[in-house]
């Protein structure tokens, strides 16, 4: 699962994630908007938490969570409880990950996380329910293919 958060100025914050299975086949993308204006690192932690809950509810485990927020990955890698502003969020992420032991995270720079970043193009009203796509949006298919993600053909 690739995650990205975007601070959208006056609009608030956007959360995006792309989920693919172990052989690289596209599973879904998720877009969520909120009017709340989170600091960037907090927004990144929240999208990882939201994505982890979603992935587990759809039985997408084992799971590797990739984010372009290096400081978040460093905090998640710590064994002890975190004392930073986002400590509670990090602790909840770690708790969920430890429930079955099949969740890992890693830093994946912007260049490797382009699909999730491109999802910021999707505009929806803040506080609207999450938008789940079981099919990739057309504008995302070239980047998915470039990243080696298999996109099932429309039937």
- Collect all residues with Cβ–Cβ distance below 8 Å to 51 and sequence separation of at least 6: 1, 3, 15, 17, 19, 30, 65
Note whether residue 153 is domain-resident: no
Q: Which two tokens stand for residue 144?
A: 């998915």
pLDDT tens digit sequence for 119-141? 766 666 666 656 666 777 777 78
Q: How far is C-alpha 136 from the chain's CA centre?
A: 15
Domain count for the chain = 1
pLDDT of residue 35: 85
CA distance 63 to 1: 7
Question: Mean pLDDT across the stretch 99-127?
Answer: 73
155 domain residue, yes or no: no
Does 123 reside within a domain?
yes
Domain-located, residue 47:
yes
pTM score, two decimals? 0.82
Count of beta carbons in the 10 Å neighbourhood of residue 73: 18
**Looking at the domain assignment, is residue 154 inside a domain?**
no
Percent of the chain with pLDDT over 90: 23
- CATH number for the domain spanning 70: value is 3.30.420.10
| pLDDT, tens digit, 9 for 90 and up, residues 64-87 | 999 989 999 999 988 766 666 788
Residue 46 forms part of a structural domain = yes
Task: Evaluate if residue 112 carries a pLDDT over 80.
Answer: no
Of 8-22, 75-89, 96-110, the one with minimum mean pLDDT is: 75-89
The answer to whether residue 43 sits within a structural domain is yes
Per-residue pLDDT, 64: 92
Q: What percent of the chain has pLDDT over 70?
A: 83
pLDDT value at residue 72: 93
Range of the domain at 135: 2-146
């Amino acid at each position: 699962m690739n995650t990205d958060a975007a601070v959208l100025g006056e609009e608030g914050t956007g959360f995006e994630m792309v989920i693919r299975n172990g052989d690289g086949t596209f599973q879904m993308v998720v877009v969520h908007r909120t009017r709340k204006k989170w600091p960037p690192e907090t927004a990144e932690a929240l999208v990882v938490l939201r994505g982890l809950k979603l992935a587990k509810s759809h039985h997408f485990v084992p799971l590797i969570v990739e984010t372009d927020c290096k400081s978040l990955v460093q905090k998640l890698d710590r064994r002890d409880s975190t004392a930073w502003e986002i400590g509670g969020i990090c602790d909840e992420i770690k708790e969920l990950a430890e429930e079955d032991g099949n969740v890992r995270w890693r830093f994946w720079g912007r260049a490797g996380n382009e699909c999730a970043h491109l999802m910021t193009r999707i505009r929806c009203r803040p506080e609207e329910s999450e938008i789940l796509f079981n099919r990739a949006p057309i504008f995302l298919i070239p980047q998915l293919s470039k990243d080696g993600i298999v996109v099932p053909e429309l039937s």
